[in-house]
Structure 1
Amino acid sequence: MSRRLIALASALASLSTAAHAQPTQAQLDRLAATLDVRYQVLDNRPGPALCAPAPSCHLAELTLAAPEAPAAGWSLYFSSVTPILQAGGDAFVLSHINGDLYRLTPTAAFVGLAPGRPIRVPLKLAGHQLSELYPMPNHYVAAEGLAARTVASTRPVVDPETGLESLPFVTPFTDEARLAGVSAADTTVWATSPRIWAVNAAAGASVQPVPRAAVLPTPLRTRLDPRGGELDLSRGVKVSVSGLPRAALAAALARLAKAGAAEASGGAPLRIRLAPAEKLALGGYRLTIEAGAIELVASDPEGAANGLASLAQLVDARRTVPRLTIDDAPRFDFRGLHVDVARNFHSKAEILAILDQMAAYKLNRLHLHLADDEGWRVEIAGLPELTRIGSRRCHDLTERTCLLPQLGAGPDPSTPVNGFYSRADYIEIVRAAQARHIQVIPSFDMPGHSRAAIKAMEARAARLRAEGKPDAEAGRYLLSEAENASVYSSIQHYDDNTINVCLDSAYAFLGKVVDEMAVLHAAAGQPLTRYHIGADETPGAWSASPACAAYEARTGIKPADLGGHFVEKVSALLAERGVVVAGWSDGMGHAEADRMPAKVHSNNWGALAGEGPASAHVQANQGWEVVISTPEVLYFDSPQAADPKERGYDWPSRATDTRKVFDFMPENLPAHAELWTDLHGKPQASKDDYPLEPGVRFNGLQGQLWSETIRSDAQVDYMLYPRMVALAERAWHGANWETPYTPGKAYDPTTGAFTAQMRARRDADWTAFANLLGQRELARLDAAGVAYRIPTAGAVVEDGRLKANVELPGLPIEYRVEGGPWRPYVEGAPVAGRVEVRARSADGKRAGRSLVVP
């Protein structure tokens, strides 16, 4: 018998054995329903000896138990965003599929699962996991030819009382010594109730009177009428508009009506006019409330809408407003919010609701992140695969019908983390933004972070070839090269997520997408004038590309320089269409400034203690529009407290609460080294080696909500609010306590530039802001259906009496003893036994997460 026949016979025998061992669909369904998965983080600081050769690692354990399981022919798939370095035991073999997707497959040593006989799989993983919400849910079982099923025990659970998600398969964190930090030198401690109480007490967290004329964000100047008095708006307002189309104020007037001052023919006169000759700042306004009328003057429609937003905040429960004059102007032209809908999809309704709140607090740029490795989220005419495949994750290892499951998406493509905006949806979003004077900046990350588009265009090419179309047509928009032998791994552990920038088809694709987005923006009445390319790249992605070797032969550009060349080339392509290029500072920094268009937008996301200040200053000095997007304080996907029950990526910050956002000084980045510690609680130092040139300023401020760990609209609200209000405060209002920028000055904890007087002014400013949130603004968010984060309450028991406080004074606090009924907190309440405390929403309808008082 020939070797070929022997090999064929062996293969057929293997297939026969596999077929014999193959489970049925009923068996797989039963396994998914009964498999008990338990995941436990054992040690975040095992030491360098155990981690070597990795720089850091942590130890965990996966435990599997079930009444029974098929002997072979099935696998358990799950996501781990931290790479698994090693899996112990001999019952399963671990495979890395791509990105964060892993597979456990039974080996010949697997003896099955049975009652009382769990199998433990020890794991060593890179980095650390500081939260019970860091592991990904929705593990699933799959077998050849069968429908994959989500393992029931790994599904998230939502508490009906708090609305908060938990992962019951993750063992609760209790060992602070092993789990709170990443090394013995890490000083991070958990935000326990007594520690929160001490922080709040030190900040003077107590209920203070809220000034009647208070507005957020804080106006430039407010002057109360010395005669006092208020204007009654109970009969509404009679609006007259001069110098601008009334339609430009429709959304702002609708908000005013919701606040209690609807339009009515017999209402108090509200005269709105544009007065460019008065030289009011763009976006600014003058609001004058007198005994019988209101006058609002602005230089542009956005300023008039901002004035109406302030007026809406002044309407109280009696439907009156104080007599006053407000002269107001924004600190920054660009006051932005970035929302990632690519990693996990978020509904059109959620985006529309966010736009409402952005307008209420005078934010005017929505950076909408529409495509990344894990998803493409907007319909593009002529490229159906982008959404037919790129917007869905399911168990299809060929990826011809969907993308691989990532980020705990599970195998079901119909879950809410999947989806896209139709052309009509996107037009509606942009139209709603335009009505609120908010510019939508679409973002499609490239050349890295582009896996969804790459796989979709590969599927398109395969479809057209199968239909007999010529190669030129099939490959017109290809983003990858089949012959590329480059070996690389992106920061999210993909080996195939980077566009080949040496292909003409890559630029044809970009041009097609930009042109189609321009059509959508035109239909919405807001021309496309800014487009965010991300500009992330992956080193090594083009090192063994024949196309890039040929490109180097023609142009002399080496693979290592292709990232900057790509940015320059794409920027020119956009400039030809009248569109300003935008990107993240590191990728944009690879381009040569003299090869870039006259106008360039760069989001500076460098670390405060790293390259952030230098890169921001360098790019601003070269004439670019720099938007400060600092991760340590403006990444709203970071946890809000150092608490293992808070969700979020902690690489930028262990705790970014509302106070930290409020304390940010965006025009003096180096100065934070005097006030803030690093990730491990250690002091920092900074040098201003690249000072800003005289007259150079940053263009704006932007908060970022990345959605890797955010799987629902309610979680979007939890992570955004009320931090977004503090973002608006800093973007609009320059505080008198901020350390002035001094070119070339170095800072450390001993420099003393932030004086005691500044500290006192800041703390008083915070007290007023916190009370305004707790006593007024959160109730407005409640009325709008916003599921903001209710801060965890601080508490101590002293001499048998309970003392409690909350970061935002005015929110209700309650407690219970020994699991009994919840009671409203009264100062000094006598307690004995196990005590828990929690705050409630301003309207009392939602409970916050409770903490035990030791």
Structure 2
Amino acid sequence: MSRRLFALTALTLVTTAAHAQPTQDQLDRFAAELQVRYQVLDNRPAPAVCAPSPSCHLAELNLTAPKAPAAGWSIYFSSVTPILQADNDGFALSHINGDLYRLTPTAAFAGFAPGRPVRIPLKLAGHQLSELYPMPNYYVAGDGLAARTVASTRPVVDPETGLESLPFVAPFTDEARLAGGSAADATVWATAARVYAVNAAAGTSVQPVPATAVLPTPLRTRPDPKGGSLDLSRGVKVSVGGLPRAELEAALGRLAKAGAGEGARGVPLRVRLVPDEKLALGGYRLAIKTSGIEIVASDPEGAANGLASLAQLVDARRTVPLLTVDDAPRFDFRGLHVDVARNFHSKAEILAILDQMAAYKLNRLHLHLADDEGWRVEIAGLPELTDIGSRRCHDPGERTCLLPQLGAGPDPSTPVNGYYTRADYIEIVRAAQARHIQVIPSFDMPGHSRAAIKAMEARAARLRAEGAPEAEAGRYLLSEAENKSVYSSIQHYDDNTINVCLDSAYAFLGKVVDEMAALHAAAGQPLTRYHIGADETPGAWSASPACAAYEAKTGIKPADLGGHFIEKVSALLAQKGVTPAGWSDGMGHAKPDRMPAKVHSNNWGALAGEGPASAHVQANQGWEVVISTPEVMYFDSPQAADPKERGYDWPSRATDTRKVFDFMPENLPAHAELWADLRGRPQASKDDHPLEPGVRFNGLQGQLWSETIRSDAQVDYMLYPRLLALAERAWHGANWETPYVPGKGYDPTTGAFTDAMRARRDADWAAFANLLGGRELARLDAAGVAYRIPTVGAVVEDGRLRANVEFPGLPIEYRVEGGAWRPYAPDAPVAGRVEVRARSADGKHAGRSLFVP
């Protein structure tokens, strides 16, 4: 592991005399008493300040303590934006790897004086637009001592809202300096007044939810001309034809939770498969008559989808409207990606997500199980993958765990660490299969593979120590000790890329695929698709003896090895009957004529960049392209441009539920007419690589990456209710979407999105927002989902409070000068400083508050 130094003072000045080493008690007391204060000062410094870097931001770290051990200690912390400079001669700052840094006192450090902070000015790359962007859990360590988390840097969860904050991070108050990443950035904060204006422009007001409403919107709904409803208070009497009843147990269970369980005297409910009626796969016909209910489908998934719609139609009186629904999905692939590698998320959370996916007819779970920061599933015969690769702790030699990243801290027992046992994974896949959801395991390679690389190095070291033959010790090695290549990955690792010139790398891949196939077989869902990520790191093989020998043998140069690896791995998977999948940029390095007939590519190119072109090119190649556009489909982006919102902002400054709802996945270039770029500037698009006639994308997928998401509650907050808008767009093609015209470009003046289309879209949104506020969020409450409660828009005009909320019907409340919260009534008289917030649909939980200007 390299130790790149980013300090003005050399590490040779660090005091490390053995006689000065602290005791464990001294280190513990220091960790308990040290006060850390981190403040972002300026996201928009002048270019001369940043030079030679293209962009930077300024921050300050303040350390205060009554006293500290004289020497022999260091402070470790994570910074996901690289630190370019630290200006304090009393400390040496070194980059360990990834986002982990170390501060060590030098000979110039005069110690702490009570109440007098030690100030360390910092210059960092890029920008930090959120108070939640810095990472928590700084820790102190010394040789031979147990590392301890600095208490002042632990996250705090508000018991009333359930939201996490970082008290050691100074609040953002200077919008002019902190709201955008450069002087040209037009980003502004989502203040109460601005939220009010957005909600008012959307025209959303409380409307009654139609009894016939289903989410996602069906293809056709025909209410009975005479109206009326069917009483299900005695339950339903189920008969199933053409498929095993077991295929419907999960869907029937959800129907029972909705209030229509099974009963001997219940309303007849007949579910049958009729393949020759040519219903689309996943589609169904639901007929509710006075005589009973019938669901017809051509496959079990369609039958379950029909039951999901029926469950939504059951109202509080346990009645359903008389109607007929003819329905079919827009896309075959309706997916959700969940990253459990960066930070682990529990089996219970994944099972709960599967329930909600089935309720809203999503049918693919892309489970990201391994990355640099963790390996999350047990593989028979390779115990180090989980014994070491699933844990982060302070072990500089990484013999028992990986070093902390992403603010994990030194304690390996915290929830960000962990893995699924084989039994756990089988349970997850079985639950998915019961809900007609395919699980697609994902293990990123050749880049983003540090957890696996370090685990296999530990395996080799263990076997060598045990006297095993070298052939066995090195059987699954992913790295080459003699490789002197110098590189840095996008997350700033210098040792995270598999050496693709080693036969042992392919042996490892084959072993993992075979073991995953065995787990899927045990769960009753064959492994038919495997996501390899396909990320690489330029320069990783430039000085590898193995790759030099491979070039001499094959003629393949290091620069071309990434594409060669994808081709070779794809062929290996195809031989096992598994479809290879990967991200579009990495898969694009492969030669199409050297790839299997069936290839899955997640297109994550930017709308304002190469995204439309790469999606079209790969779809024209005959690949199954799944649209995964980061500006709108990355659910780890903040839901509002607000410094108290969580998430990475490089894909989007704000991706709210409305933005997901407005997405037009079958016409990517058209968004240039309607949406600004990342910095709020107008954009233009070209369609230089148009889709060929008859070519369509295969699906739509939302992504939840977990770098900033450390708990299951945070997963819920980031997923919901955006997941419901994803389901709407993946299932239902709206009549207001701009039709795709091959070769057509767009900009804000092209006018392809007409006033009539805008009116239809806005009316659809109003109905959707009311459906969430009036019904669906209450169902999420009942399921225990900790969804994001939207912030309230508000203004005070003529001494009267006017407030609105994104999802009409949610309770709004306000208080004045920090007093008691009270229910909002339109035009409530107020005087003083006013604060507003919404509550959950069931009224039991409060959302984040905003002050009204």
TM-score (norm 1): 0.98
Question: Contact 2:15–2:105 (CA<8 Å) still a contact in 1?
Answer: no
Give how far 1:16 is off.
11
| Aligned length, in residue pairs | 842
CA contact (8 A) 1:91 1:110 kept: yes
State the Cα distance separating 1:18 from its structure 2 match: 1.5
Distance 1:196 1:16 in 2: 53
SS of the residue 1:433 aligns to: helix
Q: Could you tell me how far 1:15 is from its partner in structure 2?
A: 12
Cα shift at 1:205: 2.0
Query: Contact (CA 8 Å) 2:42, 2:57: kept in 1 or not?
Result: yes
Conserved 8 A contact 1:71-1:111: no
| 1:472 alignment partner, SS class | helix
Aligned position for 1:340: 339
1:255 equivalenced with 2:260 (yes/no): no
Shift of 1:458: 0.2
Give me the whole-angstrom Cα distance separating, in 2, the residues matched to 1:217 and 1:182: 37
Once residues 276 and 114 of structure 1 are traced to their aligned partners in structure 2, the CA distance between those partners, rounded to angstroms, is 80
Deviation of 1:226 (Å): 0.3
Match of 1:4 in 2: none
Provide the C-alpha distance between the structure 2 equivalents of 1:259 and 1:209, rounded to a whole number of angstroms.
20
SS at match of 1:461: helix
- Counterpart of 2:722 in structure 1 is 723
- Measured against aligned partners, the alpha-carbon deviations of 1:392-441 in whole angstroms (never above 9, x if no partner) come to 00000100100010000000000000000000000000000000000000
Query: By how many angstroms is 1:61 displaced?
Result: 0.2
Residues 490 and 538 of structure 1 are in contact (CA less than 8 Å); yes or no, is this contact kept in structure 2? yes
Which residue of the partner structure matches residue 160 of structure 1?
Answer: 159
Deviation string 1:268-299 (CA, Å, 9 cap, x unpaired) is: 00000001111000000000000120010000
Q: Which residue of 2 aligns with 1:9?
A: none
Give deviations 1:689-739, integer Å, cap 9, x for gaps: 000000000000000000000000000000000000000000000000000
Alignment match, 1:402: 401
Aligned to 1:123: 122
Provide the residue aligned with 2:548 in structure 1.
Answer: 549
Letter in 2 for 1:220: L
In 2, Cα distance between equivalents of 1:42 and 1:319: 57
CA 1:15 to 1:155, structure 2 compared with 1: closer, same or farther past 3 Å?
closer
Distance 2:115 2:100 in 1: 29
Distance in 2 of aligned mates of 1:576 and 1:215: 42
Could you tell me whether the CA contact under 8 Å between 2:635 and 2:703 is conserved in 1?
yes
Q: Say whether the 8 Å CA contact 2:14–2:92 is kept in structure 1.
A: no
1:309-334 Cα distance to aligned partner (Å, 9 max, x none): 00000000000000000000000000
SS at match of 2:17: helix
- The C-alpha deviation readout for 1:231-268, integer Å capped at 9, x for no partner, is 00000000000000000000000000000000111000
Give the equivalent residue in structure 1 for 2:201.
202
Q: Contact conserved, 2:16 with 2:71, CA < 8 A, in 1?
A: no
* Distance in 2 of aligned mates of 1:812 and 1:722: 17
Tell me, yes or no, if structure 1 residue 431 matches structure 2 residue 439.
no
CA–CA distance in structure 2, aligned partners of residues 386 and 141 of structure 1: 27
The residue type equivalent to 1:743 in the other structure is P
Amino acid at match of 1:685: A
Please give the alpha-carbon distance, in whole angstroms, between the structure 2 residues aligned to 1:829 and 1:705. Answer: 40
Q: Distance in 1 between matches of 2:330 and 2:88?
A: 59
- Aligned residue in 1 for 2:538: 539
Q: Which residue of 1 aligns with 2:142?
A: 143
Query: RMSD in angstroms over aligned alpha carbons?
Result: 1.0
Deviation at 1:90, TM superposition (A): 0.7
CA distance in 2, matches of 1:16, 1:712: 38
1:17–1:32 distance in 2 versus 1, CA, 3 Å:
closer
Change (3 A) 1:73 1:234: same
1:517 aligns with 2:516: yes
CA distance in 2, matches of 1:118, 1:230: 70
2:511 aligned partner, one-letter code: K
Q: Is the 8 A contact 1:689 1:744 kept in 2?
A: yes
What's the CA shift for 1:71?
1.6
Q: d(CA) in 2 for partners of 1:109 and 1:15?
A: 9
SS of residue matched to 2:837? strand
Determine if contact 1:477/1:508 at 8 Å carries over to the other structure: yes
Partners of 2:256 and 2:645 in 1: CA distance: 37
| 1:649 counterpart residue number | 648
Q: Superposed, which structure 2 residues align to 1:7-406 within 5 Å?
A: 18-406=17-405
Contact 2:62 2:117 (C-alpha < 8 Å) held by counterparts: yes
Superposition deviation, residue 227 in structure 1: 1.1
In structure 2, distance between residues paired with 1:23 and 1:63: 22
Give the Cα–Cα distance (whole angstroms) in 2 for the partners of residues 723 and 245 of structure 1.
Answer: 34
Structure 2 residue aligned with 1:5: none
Q: Identity of paired residues, percent? A: 88
Q: How far, CA to CA, are the matches of 1:764 and 1:487 in structure 2?
A: 56
Identify the residue that residue 526 of structure 1 maps to in structure 2. 525
Q: Deviations over 1:757-800 (max 9, x none)?
A: 00000000000000000010000000000000000000000000
Cα distance in 2 for partners of 1:205, 1:222 equals 23
Counterparts in 2 of 1:341-740, with a 5 A limit? Answer: 341-740=340-739
How far is the alpha carbon of 1:186 from its aligned partner? 1.1
The residue aligned with 2:3 is none
Asked if the contact 1:235–1:266 (Cα under 8 Å) also holds between the matched residues in 2, the reply is yes
SS class of match (1:121): strand
Large movers: runs of 4+ above 3 Å? 13-17
Separation in 2 of the partners of 1:257 and 1:116? 61
SS in 2 for 1:704: strand
How far is the alpha carbon of 1:114 from its aligned partner? Answer: 2.0
Distance 1:292 1:109 in 2: 88
Q: Secondary structure at the match of 1:282?
A: coil
**Partner amino acid, structure 1, of 2:236:** V
Residue 642 of structure 1 and its aligned partner are, at CA, apart by: 0.2
Unaligned runs of 5+ in 2: 1-11
Name the CA distance, whole Å, in 2 between partners of 1:584 and 1:129.
27
Cα drift, residue 155 of structure 1: 0.1
C-alpha separation in 1, matches of 2:690 and 2:474: 48
* Match of residue 5 from structure 2: none
One-letter amino acid of the structure 2 residue matched with residue 496 of structure 1:
D
| Whole-angstrom distance in 2 between the partners of 1:623 and 1:195 | 45
SS at match of 1:616: helix
Question: 2-side partners of 1:628 and 1:44: how far apart?
Answer: 32
Q: Distance in 2 between matches of 1:275 and 1:809?
A: 41
Instruction: State the Cα distance separating 1:14 from its structure 2 match.
Output: 12
* 1:567-610 deviation line (CA, Å, top 9, x unaligned): 00000000010000000000000000000000000000000010
Residues 15 and 106 of structure 2 are in contact (CA less than 8 Å); yes or no, is this contact kept in structure 1? no
Shift of 1:685: 0.3
Q: Tell me the CA shift for residue 182 of structure 1.
A: 1.4
Using the alignment, how far apart are the partners of 1:770 and 1:107 within structure 2?
58
Task: Say whether the 8 Å CA contact 2:426–2:520 is kept in structure 1.
Answer: yes
Structure 1 residues 622 and 19: CA distance shift in structure 2, 3 A: same
After superposing the two structures, state which structure 1 stretch, 176-185 or 98-107, moved more.
176-185
| Amino acid in structure 2 at the alignment position of 1:196 | V
SS in 1 for 2:841: coil
Task: Please list the CA deviations of residues 148-205 of structure 1 after superposition, one character each: whole Å capped at 9, or x if unmatched.
Answer: 0000000000000000000000000000000001122211100000000000000012
Distance 1:184 1:165 in 2: 30
Q: In the aligned structure 2, how far is the partner of 1:116 from the partner of 1:672? A: 54
The one-letter amino acid of 1:317's match is: A
Query: SS of the counterpart of 2:443?
Result: strand
* Secondary structure in structure 2 of the residue aligned to 1:432: helix
> What CA deviation, in whole Å up to 9, does each residue of 1:48-86 have, x standing for no partner?
100001000000000000000012100000000000000
- 8 Å CA contact 2:14–2:104 kept in 1: the answer is no
Instruction: Supply the AA of the counterpart residue of 1:566.
Output: F
1:615–1:260 CA distance, 2 compared to 1 (3 A): same
Gaps of 5+ in 1: 1-12
Structure 1 counterpart of 2:754: 755
8 Å Cα contact 1:71-1:110 kept in structure 2: no
Kept in 1, the 8 Å contact 2:335–2:366? The answer is: yes
- AA in 1 matched with 2:168: F
DSSP-derived class of the 1:313 partner: helix
Partner Cα separation in structure 1 for residue 416 and residue 15 of structure 2? 38
Relative to the length of structure 2, the TM-score reads 0.98
Q: 2:43 touches 2:177 (CA, 8 Å); kept in 1? A: yes
3-state SS in 1 of match to 2:631: helix
1:17 deviation in Å?
Answer: 6.5
